[in-house]
Amino acid sequence: MIGEFERILKPGGLLLISSPDREIITDKAHLKNKFHINELSKKEFVALLQKHFNIEGIYAQDKFNENKQPRYRRAIKNAISTVDVFQLRPKIVGMLGLTSVVHKHFSSAEETPIEQVEIDSPNDFFVLIGVCRKN
């Protein structure tokens, strides 16, 4: 996919791309990400982009906060996931308009603006954003 982005962009063209960070989502937050076949760590994401583009900046959003999700909340969330074999919870939450309430009380992410991060720094964010330019 990245190779195709490189192919179709004009010289000097700008690519804005985001990716969840596997080390945060899967390893630290212990969440299942059903929307991505492959997940990358920050290091892998940066290496992939550098292979094809000049990176102008790496940004991040949704900072992981382990203290925001106490054990009892994780236990409740895991119990609901186990019982909800038909995966109706998201539909019920949406129909009742409880999405923001559920996110506030059960998410391990802080709602944060997008902020620039150093390429080589450790990552504490769920989402990484690359701003790249084609040579």
pLDDT mean by block of 10 residues, the chain; 135 residues = 95 95 84 79 96 97 70 62 68 67 54 86 92 95
DSSP 128: E
Q: pTM, whole model, 2 decimals?
A: 0.68
Residue 36's pLDDT is what?
Answer: 78
Residue 21's pLDDT is what?
Answer: 93
Contact 39, 108 (CB under 8 A): no
d(CA 16, CA 115): 14
13, HSE (Cβ side, Cα atoms, 13 Å): 10
Q: What is the CA radius of gyration of the chain?
A: 17
Distance of CA 133 to the CA centre of its chain: 22
d(CA 41, CA 53): 18
Residue 26's pLDDT is what?
Answer: 81
Residue 128's pLDDT is what?
Answer: 95
